[in-house]
Amino acid sequence: MSPTPQQTTRRVLVTGASRGIGRAAMRHLADAGYQVVGLARHAPGDARPDERFVQCDLADLEAARQVVEGLAREGGFYALVNNAAIAHTTSIADTRVADMNEAMALNVNAALVCLQALMPGMRQAGAGRVVNISSRAALGKPNRTAYSATKAALIGMSRTWALELAPHNITVNVIAPGPVATELFKQASPPGAEQTRALLAAVPLQRIAEPEEIAHAIGFLLHPLAGYMTGQTLHIDGGLTISAARL
């Protein structure tokens, strides 16, 4: 029988954990009994006793590696949720190479650094889960050159990880959300704004997701009974990816 969290460890590392999807994931997993450690530049003011936050700027890859390796020395981790990301909203003409490099560092390279630090412990335990948070924008979205490129790269990288880590009973899957009611989304798409109404009109379910709905899917992928699913991308977008089929 494949090892379960109960047989190994229930520690989970969540990046970008202070708000939005990461914050919801912290609470959902803590409520499910996991020992959750969150990485963020700043801890949220409403952190609970069962949530541990460690300050870390994941854009500083070497510093991030040292922080995560230090956490791994404290004890093994069963799961890693790579959620931290940056989203540049610029046209093709206005996208700088510096934007591309910044997005690649946080959206892709930081995920690699975190996995490399936790992977030895997962291999030793003979079990593990990796969930990478991509985006529906990986399929294409105007004014998202750097963001869509790096989120697509994360999907491709995850498929390779799934192949390499399968012999160690470590699964790697991707969640690609559509619009989610995070702080950043609300700032970019205010309720009632024309672009927000247009977006909702394109979503078959006629609403945006709540962060807790994405957190629930993360919990599903960490569950022992999800152990036969690896290398997959789960789109949680209210049907946005299939909306063209209605035309």
User: What is the mean pLDDT for each group of 10 consecutive residues in the chain (247 residues)?
Assistant: 55 96 97 97 90 95 98 97 95 97 97 98 97 96 95 98 98 97 81 86 94 98 97 97 74
User: Is position 145 within any domain?
Assistant: yes
User: Is position 81 within any domain?
Assistant: yes
User: Is position 202 within any domain?
Assistant: no
User: Is position 203 within any domain?
Assistant: no
Contacts of 121 (CB under 8 A, 6+ apart): 72, 75, 76, 77
pTM assigned to the model: 0.93
Residue 85: CATH number of its domain: 3.40.50.720
User: Is position 204 within any domain?
Assistant: no
Tokens for 175? 């969640």
Which residue numbers are catalytic?
147
Residues 155, 233 contacting (CB under 8 angstroms): yes
User: Is position 242 within any domain?
Assistant: no
Identify the sign of the CA torsion 201, 144, 59, 235: positive
The reported pLDDT for the residue numbered 221 is 98
User: Is position 82 within any domain?
Assistant: yes
The reported pLDDT for the residue numbered 244 is 67
The reported pLDDT for the residue numbered 121 is 97
The number of folded domains in the chain is 1
Q: 94-97 contacts: CB < 8 A, separation 24 or more?
A: 95/145, 95/146
User: Is position 197 within any domain?
Assistant: no
